[in-house]
Amino acid sequence: MSLDAPGRGRGKPAAGPGNLEVSLHHLASEIPLVHEALDELAGRHGLPARCVARLHLALEEHLANIIAHGGKPGPAGSITVRFALEPAALRVEIEDDAVPFNPLEAPAVNTALPLEEKPLGGLGIHLIRKSVDELEYRRAGNRNVLVMKNRLTAR
């Protein structure tokens, strides 16, 4: 568990080479820190590219949502992302102090609508759902915790 201030700009190993933790503020400019940490972990363990790319996308969407709609823009808010490599999956836990929000309860997007009627909003959560194998949400005290898990299969 890290007691460090967020936004330090680097990931650090938590409890072994398969774990990595990154903290950031509610600033879009700090989202790349999380992508860098995932790249580092993926490189270190030779993780399958497709599994990793889908997690990059899901993280981008979730972090962008927290920062844009979480109600704590800027350096006041904090987000912690923890990566944990399991025997057959990569688990990512995203904990934030934004307003309570369960992405699993967001309404589904109808992708079959004709172009003119297609909504331009709601796509981010749709992409998260489609990009991760397992998704869990819980509210822990005053923080949101979302767990994403992708199996380490090449396809």
Nearest distance, CB of residue 49 and another protein, angstroms: 9
DSSP label of 48: -
Report which of 108, 134, 112, 101 is spatially closest to residue 122, judged by C-alpha positions: 108
5 binds another protein per the rule CB under 8 A: no
* Residue 14 near residue 21 (C-beta atoms within 8 A): yes
Work out whether 72 is an interface residue with another protein (CB under 8 A). Answer: no
151 touching another protein, by CB under 8 A? no
Reading the block at residue 27, the tokens are: 């600033």
Looking at residues 74 to 133 of the shown chain, list those that interact with another protein (rule: CB under 8 A): 109, 111-113, 115-116, 118, 120, 123-124, 126-127, 130-131
Which range of residues in 25-33, 83-91, 94-102, 136-144 is near another protein by CB under 8 A?
Answer: 25-33
- Rounded distance, CA 18 to CA 76, Å? 30
